[in-house]
A and B are shown apart, each in its own frame.
Chain A
Amino acid sequence: MDTTVPNLKPIIEIKDLMKSYGENHVLNGFNMVLYEGENLVIMGKSGSGKSVMIKCLIGLEEHDRGSIQVMGKDISELDREELDELRTEVGFLFQGSALYDSMTVRENLEFPLRRHTKKFGVIKDTTPLVMEALESVGLANTINLMPEELSGGMKRRIALARTLILRPKIILYDEPTTGLDPITAKEILMLMKSIQEKYNTSSIIITHDVDCARVISNRMILLVEGKNYIEGTFEELSISTDPKVQAFFK
């Protein structure tokens, strides 16, 4: 993977982010910048606050302190409508795919399209957009299937197609390869790479899969106890002698 950052214009900036659940301080002053066109991998142990951080980023969780700027907008200052509008630019791939069980693949893809009417207007025939998104993940033949009829890897691809259908500028991936066999995980990684090249998206990838980080990252941040522990390229981090960093690469 080419590790140079194509453009140095910040698209997301997080400063001194704090989040606690009672006495449990999950995020303790986390800082981060994502640049346009960049793939930023955030690694950390389970419970280190990675998933909470991206949920704060998209407004699914309210942070206690600090600021989150997404495309120049402070998300804590946005009302519901403005936040929804911003969410059309930020796609989110959930860890467990989060496909709606009661809907077919087509309905799953149509759902955000019909809801975010401000971006595309009211679309009468959604089929071309649905088909294009499905074709980009190589699953056009699944359009009428229910999520229960799909394998884990297929579900992840459909979820990716659902994310792509709104043509977001940023995609947040929460553990994109967790729970998948190595071959399917590699396919998903290749798909993520091709999507980034095709749509020129910027991405934050939450993972503890070193292979995933090697293939996809331009830059990495290691999160320990809710704070940035170390930052750098995959190559830089992989040769680090710090035991906490090495623990991930061994």
Chain B
Amino acid sequence: MNSIFKIIELFKNFLLEIGELSYFAGRFFKEAFKPPSEFKEFLRQCFNMGNRSLLLVAVTGFIIGLVFTLQSRPTLQEFGAVSWMPSMVSISIIREIGPIITALICAGRIGSGIGAELGSMRVTEQIDAMEVSGTNPFKYLVVTRILATTFMLPVLVFFGDAIAIFGSYLVENIKGNVSFLLYFNQVFNALEFGDLIPSTIKTFFFGFAIGLVGCFKGYYCKKGTAGVGLAANSAVVFTSMLLFIIDFIAVFVTDIFYDL
């Protein structure tokens, strides 16, 4: 009986958190269109997030492309379908693997960073100091970060996709002696706008979710260093879960359009 009450309590807390997050998102949209724009801070955040995640996204993308091709090659060889490799790799990476893996990496790298940074600013009263200094901290800290993740994630995904496909090409070049021109010719022949547009649109949502949850957890961080750690940690866990939900919805919606 006790465990049932615990489950009900957990579910209630989860719903409360969703409610608070929705309110936070509503506040973001309300503040985002109000002057002043804080454009300089937005650019600084874009640079920080994009630049600092570039290497990680590049290395991960490269390894994914490499491993994916190495693992799939024997199976395709068995069916005499190795020539399908560029098409298969590019479609899988562009449609699904690239966006979700890059988003998960950024949830860990950027989301936790935002959670910890805003959390420590809350604990050390820097957010209060900002408020006293005539600045709307929600606009300066939250709006700029959410916008930066929303706009930078598609760029990072695009970059990660390109590196992953390049990694795949390297394997094909070494193992199958396929030229750069032939490989990428097949890649572009296989890809359609129908592959690129939905996956790009969903990366904006991924970026928004990463920024929103990271800021939410950090901005309302509980006092103490333990609170900062918890904010960073729960930002990653909650965002990762949210990313899969968004991905599921995106695939579902895209599928409806494909059926039409």
Contact = CB atoms under 8 A, between A and B. Distances in A.
Interface string A28-66: 000000000000000000000000000100101000000
A98 interface: yes
Contacts of B135: 111, 115
B132 A92 contact: yes
A100 B129 contact: yes
B125 A94 contact: yes
10 residue pairs, one from A and one from B, having the closest CB atoms: A112-B133, A98-B129, A115-B134, A98-B125, A116-B134, A84-B134, A94-B125, A92-B132, A115-B135, A98-B126
Interface residues of A, number: 20
Contacts of A116: 133-134
A87 B134 contact: yes
Given A100-B126, A111-B133, A112-B133, 9 more contacts: A60-B128, A60-B131, A60-B132, A87-B132, A87-B134, A92-B132, A94-B129, A99-B126, A115-B133
A116 B126 CA distance: 17
B51 interface: no
Interface in B77-133: 120-121, 124-126, 128-133
A218 interface: no
Contact of B132 (A58, A80, A99): A58
Interface of B: 120-121, 124-126, 128-136
Nearest to A117: B134
A142 interface: no
Contacts of B131: 60
Nearest to B120: A101
A100 B128 CA distance: 11
Interface of A: 55, 58, 60, 80, 84, 87-88, 90, 92, 94-96, 98-101, 111-112, 115-116
B134 A96 contact: no
A98 B132 CA distance: 11
Interface centre among A90, A95, A100 (most CB of B within 10 A): A100
A80 B136 contact: yes
